[in-house]
Amino acid sequence: MIKRILFVVFVAVGVTGFGKDKKDHSDTLKMSVDSLMLIDTAIMPPPVMIGNLDSLVNLWYVGKANNALVPDSLPAMPDSLFKRLSDSVYIKRLAEIESPIPMVFNKRVRSYIELYTIKKRELVQGMLGLRDYYFPIFEAELDAANLPLELKYLPVIESALNPRAFSRAGASGLWQFMYYTGKRYGLDINSFIDERRDPVKSTKAAVRFLEDLHKIYNDWLLVIAAYNCGPGNVNKAIRRAGGHRDFWKIYYYLPRETRGYVPAFIAAAYTMTYPEEHHLYPLPSGLPKSTDTIMVTKPLHFKQVSELMKINIDYLRDLNPQYRRDVVPAGKKAYPLRLGFNYATDFAAIEDSVYKFNRNKYFPEGKLLASPSKTYYPPVVPKGHAKVYYTVKQGDAVGLIAQWFHVRTSDLRYWNNIHRNLIRVGQKLVIYVPKNKVSKYKKINSMTFAQKQASIGKSVSPPKTKTVAKEPEDDSYVYYTVRRGDNLWSIAKKFNGVTNESIMKLNNINDVRKISPGQRLKIKKKS
């Protein structure tokens, strides 16, 4: 499953709502959208989505461009802006968008159009400033694959055109790929690089994924829905709807997030096509109009480039978001470094000097990092708190540890750079507790699980012993062991002539979600 989210936040998109609440930056409108009765509350997007729209303000190149989000040169907003347009206007404009994707209009689409064009104007204007940089990248890859160019609007609702968007479920980048899906489509993901964040490579991967989905459904609205929630959920909705292969007929059988996803896509296509009609104008992005790529052949730190060439390091990060630790890990193979056209020319002229600059400082003894676990965004120590350590035990989970130490799970993840709540036995976690309670919290390390649960008022029931007869394997079949991140659709793709339905039938599975890591599945008869 790639993800389920609309307008993800910078740290957040996947199968649930994402993001932290942020201040609503639409205050410049000076009036309440709710008081104007502009959005039908019966089809109002979930609150988490509206909060996620504000994620765009986290982007350096939007938040600090020209030291102002709203340039003085933007035209004043007329009073007519707040008047609800008639449905006929929306219908006519959508009909004029030439696309093989049906631009249907209904009350759900209308509610999202009004969300984008009225309630979240400032954020949409930020994306209008970014489209000149990102849309040509999307269009070139979509055109090469003969896919509808309007699919370029998917990253608008996936990531708000934020290449560093990261969901609680682990989806990352402009196109919000989950880890295993990204790897399946050829993206390199390791401690130093995450090509899900690379605008060019992630777009190539997304195009291949969209091609695969279209081969399955041959219907673009179903493709868009499956991109959001995965083919398994769409197939289940089709079965529950009696075999109908029409998005609007299977609408109520889809996950709640996906019901809003297609209307949001149509509304995003409308908004990006008709911004001027709603007095929406691009905010400056700070990204260069023309760039060039340097192939780096040796390990290179962003600070070497920044300090020697007098380039703001945030500029390097914005053009090269795939590098997780400000390091281009070249050596065994070359990696690209994207720069503004003039900077690229200057870099080529002094390339050897850049590699040599402060080399022992950033790559002592030729190592990529002196401390690979060190990040360049050290956590801020809460005032009046001290550091304690906790060693992860068997059966521990991020949520449990947070409860035992009376801290928020988000803080625990932040302090320890934890993604997708993944921790391992033996791992040492840093936790900040009140200084006057350090001795109390240090004792938690030596407590049993039952004692730790008792400390927060919870008891532990004795485990129930249950003997489960293990079914012997049949040598005439091919078997597969389920891994973390697998689903029936991804497993079926590993074997020729196998479908997720055939796997379900062979293993008496009634629900596509009822598989778990370590489970042995019967795949097919041996030939």
CATH of the domain at 517: 3.10.350.10
The whole-number pLDDT of residue 81 equals 56
- The answer on pLDDT for 213 being more than 70 is yes
Last residue of one domain, picked from the residues 439, 454, 469: 454
**Distance (Å, rounded) from C-alpha 251 to C-alpha 267?**
17
Give yes or no: residues 130 and 234 share one domain: yes
pLDDT tens track for 492-506: 888 888 888 888 888
Question: Is position 7 within any domain?
Answer: no
Give yes or no: residues 319 and 173 share one domain: no
Instruction: Give the domain range for residue 498.
Output: 477-525
State percent of the chain over pLDDT 90.
Answer: 51
Question: Is position 166 within any domain?
Answer: yes
Give yes or no: residues 144 and 191 share one domain: yes
b (16+ CB within 10 A) / e for 480-503? bebeebbbbbbbbeeeeebebebb
Place of tokens 């070497």: 304
The whole-number pLDDT of residue 493 equals 83
Nearest by Cα to 119 from 52, 19, 20: 52
Question: Is position 13 within any domain?
Answer: no
- Give the confidence band of 84 by pLDDT, cuts at 50, 70, 90: confident
> For 19-45, what is the mean pLDDT?
32
Question: Is position 356 within any domain?
Answer: yes
- Give the confidence band of 515 by pLDDT, cuts at 50, 70, 90: confident
Long-range CB contacts (within 8 A, 24+) of 338-342: 338/291, 338/292, 338/293, 338/294, 339/291, 339/292, 339/293, 339/294, 339/311, 340/288, 340/290, 340/291, 340/292, 340/315, 341/288, 341/290, 341/291, 341/292
Element (DSSP H or E) covering residue 415: helix 409-416
**Distance (Å, rounded) from C-alpha 387 to C-alpha 435?**
8
Place of tokens 């532990």: 460
Which of 38-42, 131-135, 321-325 shows the lowest mean pLDDT across its residues? 38-42
Question: Radius of gyration over alpha carbons of the chain, in Å?
Answer: 25
- Give the confidence band of 80 by pLDDT, cuts at 50, 70, 90: low
The whole-number pLDDT of residue 369 equals 55
The whole-number pLDDT of residue 380 equals 57
**Distance (Å, rounded) from C-alpha 515 to C-alpha 518?**
9
pLDDT tens track for 443-452: 999 999 889 9
- Give the confidence band of 516 by pLDDT, cuts at 50, 70, 90: confident
**Distance (Å, rounded) from C-alpha 24 to C-alpha 22?**
6
Place of tokens 């790559």: 363
- The answer on pLDDT for 37 being more than 50 is no
Question: Is position 446 within any domain?
Answer: yes
CA-based end-to-end distance of the chain: 30
pLDDT tens track for 295-322: 999 999 999 999 999 999 999 999 999 9
Per-range mean pLDDT, top range of 74-88, 275-289, 411-425, 509-523: 275-289
Burial class (CB in 10 A: 0-12, 13-18, 19+), 393: middle
- The answer on pLDDT for 30 being more than 70 is no
Which of 243-247, 292-296, 355-359, 367-371 shows the lowest mean pLDDT across its residues? 367-371
Please, what's the largest Cα pairwise distance for the chain? Answer: 75
Nearest by Cα to 297 from 345, 333, 249: 333
Instruction: Tally the C-alpha atoms within 13 A of residue 210's C-alpha that lie toward its C-beta.
Output: 24
User: In this structure, is the dihedral angle defined by the CA atoms of residues 319, 161, 198 and 60, taken in order, positive or negative?
Assistant: positive
Question: pLDDT averaged over the chain?
Answer: 80
Give yes or no: residues 267 and 298 share one domain: no
- Give the confidence band of 156 by pLDDT, cuts at 50, 70, 90: very high
> For 257-272, what is the mean pLDDT?
94
The whole-number pLDDT of residue 55 equals 39
State both tokens at 177. Answer: 């790929």
Instruction: Write out the DSSP string of 279-310.
Output: T--PPP----SSEEEEEE-S-EEHHHHHHHHT
Give yes or no: residues 134 and 225 share one domain: yes
The whole-number pLDDT of residue 20 equals 30
pTM of the model: 0.61
CA distances from 297 to 302, 329, 331, 355 (A): 14, 9, 6, 10
- Cα angle: 105, vertex 107, 112; to 5 degrees: 85
Last residue of one domain, picked from the residues 366, 401, 420: 366
- Give the confidence band of 462 by pLDDT, cuts at 50, 70, 90: low
Give yes or no: residues 153 and 265 share one domain: yes
The whole-number pLDDT of residue 414 equals 77
**Distance (Å, rounded) from C-alpha 432 to C-alpha 388?**
6
Give yes or no: residues 359 and 393 share one domain: no
* Catalytic sites, residue numbers: 158
Question: Is position 184 within any domain?
Answer: yes
Give yes or no: residues 120 and 236 share one domain: yes
- The answer on pLDDT for 205 being more than 70 is yes
* Greater model confidence, 279 or 4: 279
- Give the confidence band of 41 by pLDDT, cuts at 50, 70, 90: very low
Question: Is position 348 within any domain?
Answer: yes
Which of 90-94, 168-172, 203-207 shows the lowest mean pLDDT across its residues? 168-172
- Give the confidence band of 4 by pLDDT, cuts at 50, 70, 90: very low
- Give the confidence band of 123 by pLDDT, cuts at 50, 70, 90: confident
- The answer on pLDDT for 17 being more than 70 is no
Give yes or no: residues 113 and 177 share one domain: yes
The answer to whether residues 412 and 398 touch, using CB atoms and an 8 Å cutoff, is yes
User: Count of domains in the chain?
Assistant: 4
**Distance (Å, rounded) from C-alpha 138 to C-alpha 199?**
8
Last residue of one domain, picked from the residues 278, 312, 329: 278
- The answer on pLDDT for 367 being more than 80 is no
**Distance (Å, rounded) from C-alpha 120 to C-alpha 80?**
17
